[in-house]
Amino acid sequence: MILIGERINGMFTDVKEAIAAKNKQTIQELAKKQTEAGATYLDVNVGTAAADQEGTMQWLVETIQETCSTPLCLDSQKSSVIAAGLKVINAEAGVILNSTPLNKKTDEEILDKYIEMANQAGPKASIITLTMDKNGVPQDIDTRVAIAAEIVQKAMEKGFDTQRLFIDPIVLPVKVPNAQVQAGNILAAMDQIRYLADPTPHMTVGLSNVSQGATERSLINRVFLAMAMSHGLDSAIVDVLDEKLVNVVATAEMLMNKQIYSDSFLKAYVAANKA
């Protein structure tokens, strides 16, 4: 499972304050802690508070890479912010560009641009692509799959390895009125997306979205994660500092026979990821 640690995000108060005060220590500690907890990538999102988003992204990337070599996932709705991060990053071990829809009303070619940016960033650079297009976020299963198919097709046309694609079927909060059906729709869509290409593209979700505004958030996150893994999810943006959530990942992988069982399988999972 590719775990993308979500904590370095300007939406969290501690990160917001650290950005405002240019406090490197808070950011570097979060990078270290998430790495030790088993994060494969660290998500980096400047949030909305900073006036200079490009400059803040660069400061965050440089601050993290001063003390930590875990690859990063540059997270912004604006391609200029991701591009700014790519200018200063060391992407030797990989980087994820997070994220782009298939297309936008204002920019039909946005996925092409992201593929180009990823190619320039190096052979290990990947992209998170949302199953979303100029008409917005699809609510049903078929449109999600159709958009994913177009994404995969575009990547193949461009010679972009499908293993460098992460398809995000967009998780919606379960508490939103009439949205409760979406969790099931996403699972059904994933069942089809995983057969779109061989090798199959990765699938990822912003897990915490599912429980936005709800009670029992951690429980909802963990259960949905296990369910999604059984439908082919192999990556997620999560709170890796939630030890019980990482235990769910280890257990699900073991039950799916992706990890050989041992009596210390929880410990083995974290130790192996750290190494």
Partner 1 sequence: MQVPEVAESFAGSVNRVTLGATKDNGGTRTSTVTVGGARNVVYGGSIEDAGEKPVIAMDVLDSRPEDWHDSLAQNYKDVLDSPGDWAKKCVAEFGAELICVKFEGIHPDKANYDAAHAVKVTEEVAKAVGVPLILWGCGNDEKDNQVMPKVSEAVKGENALIGTVKEDNYKALTAIALADGHNLITHAPLDINIAKQVNILASDMGFPLERIVTFQATGALGYGIEYAYSIQERQRLAALGGDKMMAMPAICDVGYESWRAKEAKLADAPGWGAVEDRGPMWEATTAICLLQAGVDIIRMRHPRAVATVKNFINQIWQ
Binding site for partner 1 (CB under 8 A): 258-264, 267-268, 271-272, 275
Q: Shortest gap between Cβ of 53 and partner 1 (angstroms)?
A: 35
In which region does residue 94 sit, left (phi positive, over 0), alpha (psi from -120 to 50) or beta (all else)?
A: left
Q: How far apart are CA 262 and CA 268, in angstroms?
A: 8
Three-state DSSP class for 41? Answer: strand
CB of 22 or CB of 258, closer to partner 1 = 258
Residue whose CB is less far from partner 1, 26 or 162: 162
The minimum distance between CB 49 and partner 1, in angstroms, equals 39
Q: With respect to partner 1, which residue has the nearer C-beta, 87 or 267?
A: 267
CB of 105 to partner 1, least distance (A): 39
State how far the Cα of 85 lies from the Cα of 75, in Å rounded to an integer. Answer: 10
**In angstroms, what is the minimal distance from the CB of 35 to partner 1?**
16
In the bound state with partner 1, the residue whose beta carbon lies nearer, of 188 and 268, is: 268
Which residue, 88 or 271, has its beta carbon nearer to partner 1? 271
**Minimum gap (Å) between residue 201 Cβ and partner 1:** 16
- Cα–Cα distances in Å, from 153 out to 128, 133, 147, 157, 165? 15, 15, 10, 6, 11
Backbone angles phi, psi at 270, to 5 degrees: -65, -45
